[in-house]
Amino acid sequence: MEGLSLCFFMFVVLNASCSCGGRLLDTNREEEIILFENGAGQAPPMGWNSWNHFQCDINEEMVRETADAVVSTGLADLGYQYINLDDCWAELHRDSEGNMVPKASKFPSGIKALADYVHSKGLKFGIYSDAGTQTCSKQMPGSLGHEEQDAKTFASWGVDFLKYDNCENSNITAKERYPKMSEALLNSGRRQIYFSMCEWGSEGPALWAKSVGNSWRTTGDIEDKWESMTTIADANDKWASYAGPRGWNDPDMLEVGNGGMTTEEYRSHYSIWALAKAPLLIGCDVRTMDSTTLELLSNKEVIAVNQDNLGVQGRKIKSEAGLEVWAGPLSNNKIAVVLWNRSSSKATVTAYWSDLSLEPQKVVDARDLWQHSTQTSVSGQISAELDSHACKMYVLTPS
Ligand code: GAL
């Protein structure tokens, strides 16, 4: 029976401890939660995905080299564990038995061999399909109507993560199509496959997908541009209260290192994604990334915010003429804060204790996560002068 049950139903009082007690950072929630119980996604997933940098130009050698680089650069040790193929890995047509077939010109050794290689490096392997008749590239089939067969194929290859897209969907609702794959994965013999739903937020998945997948895209595709990144951050923020362990909002993959934003813009992108408990899926070419990119992606203290046990999505709590404060509670009564200057000129951004729902007399230590320095005995407010599009990220610990 256990293997067949789709989800696990519970009535929970999520009583995350937070000394602040005010509304914005108060995580006391009483709600009925139906969780997708496959054992994956306790924390937001971390890894790499081929799409943002390579689109359809992928092959097995590049993926093996990427796995090598994730290990040799130290990213694997920091928690980046999934190596995920996106669109275009399969032939256009299924074989005579209806199976998906790895594209011979790009993956001559097959997907199982590639997954084995990735596993041999101590990493996990992810793949991509679509809840429609074809994927968005139209270069390979989707899994609609083949959910059980494809889930079993992926399981037999040792797949650990499935990203499931939404193109060519025959106008059947996502609510109807996604649970089929969800159930097929649970019954595939490899129950712990992380299920990443990619229906672009079109049917408000935050409201219903907790029982279906481990995360759900809340927006359309990110582009490697400041405008796109900030718009997506805001759109994802609206759903903050629905995220938590095993069911995360997904504002799309990282563009850090792809060249379309400045270092400070990428620092903001990474800080906000980490605070928002977004999946941290690197989207650049890790084989050739520069040292600045590696440094941004390797900040242990920022990663710790993303992976914090409490699993509460930080959110925008103040915005005045592009000067923003984003914050969220962490375990052990800590608070993560991002001061963010989204305006076009240098400015000072301040978070007052009242913004953070901290009592006025509260004294904290403020750890600057990018400077790696601590200000002790901070009271009343924390502020920083920031260049246009720059941010500061702190963890406040009550003294
Ligand atoms: C989009 C998806 C992208 C990428 C692309 C592949 O629908 O949002 O992340 O997977 O399809 O064609």
By the 8 A CB rule, do 315 and 277 touch? no
* Widest distance between CA atoms in the chain: 72
Q: Is residue 60 lining ligand 1, measured as CB closer than 6 Å? A: no
Annotated catalytic residue, options 130, 150, 165, 355: 165
By the 8 A CB rule, do 277 and 16 touch? no
Atom of ligand 1 at shortest distance to CA of 136? 12
Question: What is the distance of C-alpha 388 from the center of its chain?
Answer: 26
**E strand map for the chain:** 7-15, 28-36, 46-49, 82-84, 124-130, 161-165, 194-197, 215-217, 248-250, 280-282, 315-320, 323-329, 335-341, 347-352, 363-368, 373-379, 381-386, 391-398
| pLDDT at 29 exceeding the cut of 70 | no
Q: Is residue 198 lining ligand 1, measured as CB closer than 6 Å? A: yes
The SS3 call for residue 357 is coil
Q: Locate all alpha helices (DSSP H) within 121-169, ordered by sequence.
A: 147-157
What is the 390 CA–ligand 1 centroid distance (Å)? 29
Q: Is residue 150 lining ligand 1, measured as CB closer than 6 Å? A: no
Q: Using one digit for the tens of pLDDT, what is the confidence trace for 224-257?
A: 999 999 999 999 999 999 999 999 999 999 999 9
What is the 140 CA–ligand 1 centroid distance (Å)? 13
For residue 314, what are its two tokens?
Answer: 């930080």
Q: Is residue 87 lining ligand 1, measured as CB closer than 6 Å? A: yes
pTM: 0.93
Residue-level pLDDT at 32: 52
Q: Using one digit for the tens of pLDDT, what is the confidence trace for 113-163?
A: 999 999 999 999 999 999 999 999 999 999 999 999 999 999 999 999 999
The pLDDT confidence band at residue 33, using thresholds 50, 70 and 90, is low
Alpha-carbon span 351 to 339, nearest angstrom: 7
95 tagged catalytic = no
The pLDDT confidence band at residue 369, using thresholds 50, 70 and 90, is very high
